[in-house]
Amino acid sequence: MKPQEDWDNSGLQIGDLNINIKTIMLTLDIDLNAVNYAKENNADLIITHHPLLFNSLKSIDYNTYDGKIIRDLIKNNINLYSMHTSLDMAEKGINFELANKLEIVEYDILHPINIDKSGYGGIADVEPVNIIEFAEKVKLLLNCQSIKLYCCNEKQIIKKVAFCGGSGSEFIFDAINSGADVYITGDIKYHQAQSALKSNLCIIDAGHYNTEHHSLKNLKKVLDNVKELDILLLEKNTVKEIII
């Protein structure tokens, strides 16, 4: 299996691979609040899902937001490591935990890309349920403040569910071709929703954060088995949404 997509930048972002680590902090995204939390708790390593350094840097300006993060990490000897598409495609990564939260026990990969059939998202059969009832259940299970439901028929019965943590709009046609009745993901745009509805596919946009952050709890359980390490989990949505 590929450790990451060719376009991705997972792995060590800032730091030294040879350093001894005692305290690890897990968080979905890195921001100044996360860095401060790491400093307060003497973390040696921050593991994020989304990379801080994604595109090529042409300069590091300490007056910019990201420049301040880089300065503080280096100044305080805090390493930064990101598990992006590598965690997306992992056997017990993003979508494994999303399925678990959605109470889906068995599923097939929605968009396999590797020789071992690993890849993005999942698709599964569920007990027949009304789309409105199902959307309300998803909102509850993922602990969402709000969700967006795109659907032509409020009486539609859901029998097959596709899902993908994070921004999964590029797999809408995988969901359609797999015969899904509804697709759960995040970051759906207007015309993407139109494309889905034309093929009678409902979409539940539960948000990027709400479909991904649960996987960090599973990662914490794994790392907690290493007795020499202290593992911290910072659950924080860096994109604050105010429902008016």
- Structure-block tokens of residue 133: 């009832």
Q: What is the pLDDT of residue 12?
A: 96
Q: Which of 29, 54, 87 is the last residue of a domain?
A: 87
> What's the pLDDT score for residue 200?
97
Say yes or no: 61 and 94 in one domain.
no
**Spatial CA neighbour of 9 closest among 73, 82, 80:** 82
Is residue 242 very low, low, confident or very high in pLDDT (cuts 50, 70, 90)? confident
For residue 152, what is the domain's CATH number?
3.40.1390.30
Burial classification of residue 158, based on how many CB atoms lie within 10 Å of its CB (0-12 exposed, 13-18 middle, 19 or more buried): buried
pLDDT digits (tens, 9 = 90+) for 184-212: 999 999 999 999 999 999 999 999 999 99
Query: Both 185 and 110 in a single domain?
Result: yes
Q: Both 54 and 160 in a single domain?
A: no
Residues 44 and 158 in one domain: no
Distance CA 137, CA 114 (A): 32
Q: Is the pLDDT of residue 84 over 90?
A: yes
In a domain, 194, yes or no: yes
> Same domain for 114 and 165?
yes
Q: How far apart are CA 102 and CA 137, in angstroms?
A: 9
> Are both 34 and 108 inside the same structural domain?
no
- For all residues of the chain together, what is the average pLDDT? 95
Neighbours of 73 (CB within 10 A): 21
Look up residue 104 and give its amino acid: I
3 pLDDT exceeds 80? no
Average pLDDT over residues 43-57: 94
- Residue 242 falls inside a structural domain: no
97, part of any domain: yes
Q: What is the pLDDT of residue 2?
A: 63
Statement to judge: residues 104 and 83 lie in one domain = no
Domain shared by 98 and 143, yes or no? yes
Say if residue 64 is in the same domain as residue 153: no
Whether the predicted pLDDT of 1 surpasses 60: no
Confidence of residue 82 (pLDDT cuts 50, 70, 90): very high
Are 30 and 136 contained in the same domain?
no
Using the predicted structure, report yes or no on whether residue 181 has a pLDDT greater than 90: yes
Task: Clarify whether residues 98 and 196 are in a common domain.
Answer: yes
In a domain? residue 31: yes
Domain boundaries, position 155: 89-211
Read off the pLDDT of each residue in 57-81 and give the average, rounded to a whole number.
Answer: 96
* Cα–Cα distance, 130 to 153 (Å, whole number): 10
Over the stretch 86-139, which tens digit does the pLDDT of each residue have?
999 999 999 999 999 999 999 999 999 988 899 999 999 999 999 999 999 999
Measured from the Cβ of residue 121, the count of other Cβ atoms closer than 10 Å reads 28
What pLDDT does residue 57 have? 84
Q: Residue 241's pLDDT is what? A: 82
Q: What is the average per-residue pLDDT within 210-239?
A: 95
In a domain, 135, yes or no: yes
Over the stretch 148-173, which tens digit does the pLDDT of each residue have? 999 999 999 999 999 999 999 999 99
Is residue 60 domain-shared with residue 102, that is, in the same domain? no
